[in-house]
Amino acid sequence: MQLSHTWSRATAVFDDERLVSCAGLVPVMALAERAGLSQLISERVAINPEATRVRSAGVNPAGKLTSVIAGMATGADSIDDLDVVRSGGMGRLFGGVYACATVGQLLREFTHGHASQLASVARAHLVNLVADTGLLPGLGEQAYVDIDSLLRPVYGQQKQGASFGHTKIAGKQVLRKGLSPLATTISTREGAPVVAGIRLRAGKAGSGKGAASMVRAAIGTARAAGANGQILVRGDSAYGNSAVIAACLKAGVRFSFVLSKNAAVTRAIATIAEDAWRPVHYPGAVLDPDTGELISDAEVAEVEFTAFASTKRAVTARLIVRRVRDRAQTAELFPAWRFHPFFTNSIEATTDADITHRGHAIIETVFADLIDGPLAHLPSGRFAANSAWAICAAITHNLLRAAGTLASDRHAVARGATLRRHLVTVPARLAQPQRRPTLHLPAHWPWARQWTNLHNAVHATGPPAPA
């Protein structure tokens, strides 16, 4: 591909008021409004103008927060990047688009209470999106609620709540200064995960801090969205504690949590008979061409176990253990195994329960999307402002996921970056021939059919008339 000799000498001028670089915001933000985003913010987020440092900062939070979400949908990962929604003809497409400085003033006025109000908006908006778009297919039969945390690095001395916490980099535990969001997701067998809730915490916060209340809220959101069947809550060892499991039992849902290995767990594993172990599909597993049996270093077995036996919250359920040959022991006389136990009240077969539990890793795809988008940075020095930013990022993630569901089956499970590139950041020229508003989009756009599907589904229109 070579640049034309003629256009290599062209003059570049940023002066066209009828061009937009993100025409996909038209159906995406229309979808957000159809799910009641502005109305929910107006009803639930109340900022007293008399209590603000800048009197006008708390005025019209709905318009300002929807400007943040629109900017995030285009790929903005800082407050300054939000100015993209004010370029070219965006002022003709949308009314009430706020400058990034004005939006920053609002975010800095947020408190913990305002962040909680915005979190309730995110939950209600997700419920409306599920009802409006068919997001999370199969939700009525089986839903999975996953919980996990991550550490987002920050720099400088002005970030409130920033402190050193443990994280893994290249498989090694390191201390890193940052802030720690705790998130819950909802997914189904056929549907990609959406964010049920997100809560920002100090970097040094323990992974399980606040997990029980987050799980309760996520279960409530799933049921409000239509999860009338079975719900399974999954997590790693940081969340396999009595408070979280008690919350699951009280809500009447099943759980599957990794247990930290202690003396009681080790004794229970030792009681498993050698002939009780069964091979399980694992990366690298193959079938024996002669017998048809699975050849794998991974095997699973189970035993009944009572967790938290010395407390008032003792729970008896299944302890399922996966063991894997320890290849580090090259000179072993007898097989050396590494054991990975998890505690569950699932009714699936042992091998199926193990595979279902390992599906908890799907939450990492959500983290990857957020880090590759709005959560690339936590832009403010104020902790509550960053909390609001994280919640807006969750709303944006769910909104793009719903838009992808309306576009095509492929886009229903696509990454956030793919959805932005295919559906949102589409250039267009605004025209009004005979007073009929028209968006002129690029000819031969590879995803024109999917974009048109989304546009027609949101605006309830048929295909455009032939040119």
pLDDT in the model for residue 466: 42
Q: How far is CA 134 from CA 127, 131, 161, 181, in A?
A: 11, 6, 38, 28
Residue 407 resides in a domain: no
Residue 381 resides in a domain: no
DSSP assignment of 229-280: SEEEEEE-GGG-SHHHHHHHHHHT-EEEEE----HHHHHHHHTS-GGG-EE-
H-helix or E-strand spanning residue 175: strand 172-187
pLDDT in the model for residue 467: 36
Residue 309 resides in a domain: yes
pLDDT in the model for residue 295: 60
Q: Would you call 347 helix, strand, or coil by DSSP?
A: coil
Residue with tokens 């009929």: 436
The total domain count for the chain is 1
Which structural domain range is residue 329 located in? 256-346
Q: Are 249 and 229 in contact (CB under 8 A)?
A: no
Q: How far apart are CA 217 and CA 25, in angstroms?
A: 30
pLDDT in the model for residue 419: 97
DSSP assignment of 410-445: TGGG--HHHHIIIIIS--EEEE-GGG--EEEPPTT-
Q: How far is CA 172 from CA 123, 166, 167, 168, 239, in A?
A: 35, 10, 8, 5, 21
Q: Are 78 and 377 in contact (CB under 8 A)?
A: yes
Residue 139 resides in a domain: no
Q: How many CB atoms lie within 10 A of CB 348?
A: 17
Residue 290 resides in a domain: yes
Mean pLDDT by 10 residues, the chain (467 residues): 83 91 96 95 90 84 96 95 93 90 93 96 97 94 96 88 85 88 96 96 92 97 96 95 95 95 93 91 64 71 94 94 74 74 95 93 96 94 96 98 96 96 96 90 96 92 45
Stated pTM of the model: 0.93
Q: Roughly what angle, to the nearest 10 degrees, separates helices 112-133 and 25-34?
A: 100
Q: How many CB atoms lie within 10 A of CB 197?
A: 25
Residue 294 resides in a domain: yes
pLDDT in the model for residue 9: 84
